[in-house]
Amino acid sequence: TAGRPLAGRRAVVTAGPTFEPIDPVRGLTNRSSGKQGYAIAAALAERGAEVTLVSGPVALAVPPGVNRVSVETAVQMQAAVEAVLSDPAGPADIAVMSAAVADWRIDTVAGGKIKKAPGGPPTFSLIENPDILAGVSAPGPLRPALVVGFAAETTDLEANARAKLSRKGCDWIVGNDVSADVFGAEANAVTLFRRDGTTQTWARQSKTAVAQALADRIADHFNA
Question: Which parts of this chain interact with ligand C5P (CB under 6 A)?
Answer: 14, 74, 97-99, 101, 129-133, 149-151, 164
Specify the residue, 14 or 55, whose C-beta has the smaller distance to ligand C5P: 14
Q: Is 44 annotated as a binding residue?
A: no
Is 30 assigned a catalytic role?
Answer: yes
Q: Is 23 annotated as a binding residue?
A: no
Residues 6+ apart with CB under 8 A from 188: 36, 176, 182, 204, 205, 206, 207, 210
How far is the C-alpha of 24 from the C-alpha of 37, rounded, in Å?
Answer: 28
How far is the C-alpha of 22 from the C-alpha of 117, rounded, in Å?
Answer: 16
Q: Is 115 annotated as a binding residue?
A: no
Beta strand residue intervals within the chain, DSSP E: 10-15, 20-23, 26-28, 50-55, 66-70, 94-97, 104-106, 126-128, 146-153, 172-177, 187-194, 199-206
Q: Is 183 annotated as a binding residue?
A: no
Specify the residue, 33 or 98, whose C-beta has the smaller distance to ligand C5P: 98
Specify the residue, 4 or 68, whose C-beta has the smaller distance to ligand C5P: 68
SS3 61: coil
- Beta carbon of residue 48, minimum distance to ligand C5P (angstroms, whole number): 24
- Beta carbon of residue 118, minimum distance to ligand C5P (angstroms, whole number): 37
Annotated binding site for CTP: 103, 113, 130-133, 150, 164, 168
Active site residues: 30
